[in-house]
Amino acid sequence: MRTTQSLSITLPHEMAQMVKSKVASGEYASESEVIRDGLRVLAARDQAVDNWLREEVLPVYDEISADPSKVVPADEAWAQIEAHIGSRKTKA
């Protein structure tokens, strides 16, 4: 049983040239290898985003949902940041 599937894709000229350049440089043996590597990188990025959402964003969301009093309004946060920056400028 075959473990690959042939696809026909259309790329903008710049991307097609990039693929061909990677093969011509010897970095990859074929255009298919370039595309496969690009898809592996895309899958890794997607997994990293999923992990970030699950491990960092959701816990903060759950914490805020459990105790909304921990939320600082944006205008108050900006005022605190500006005050901090202003105090550092006067010290310098």
Domain map (residue ranges) of the chain = 14-91
pLDDT of residue 88: 82
Query: Does pLDDT of 70 surpass 80?
Result: yes
Give the containing element (helix H, strand E) for 86. helix 74-91
Whether the predicted pLDDT of 19 surpasses 80: yes
pLDDT higher than 80, residue 13:
yes
Q: What mean pLDDT do residues 55-63 have?
A: 96
The mean pLDDT value for 30-46 works out to: 98
Whether pLDDT at 92 is above 90 = no
Percentage of the chain exceeding pLDDT 70 = 99
What is the CB neighbour count within 10 angstroms for residue 22? 18
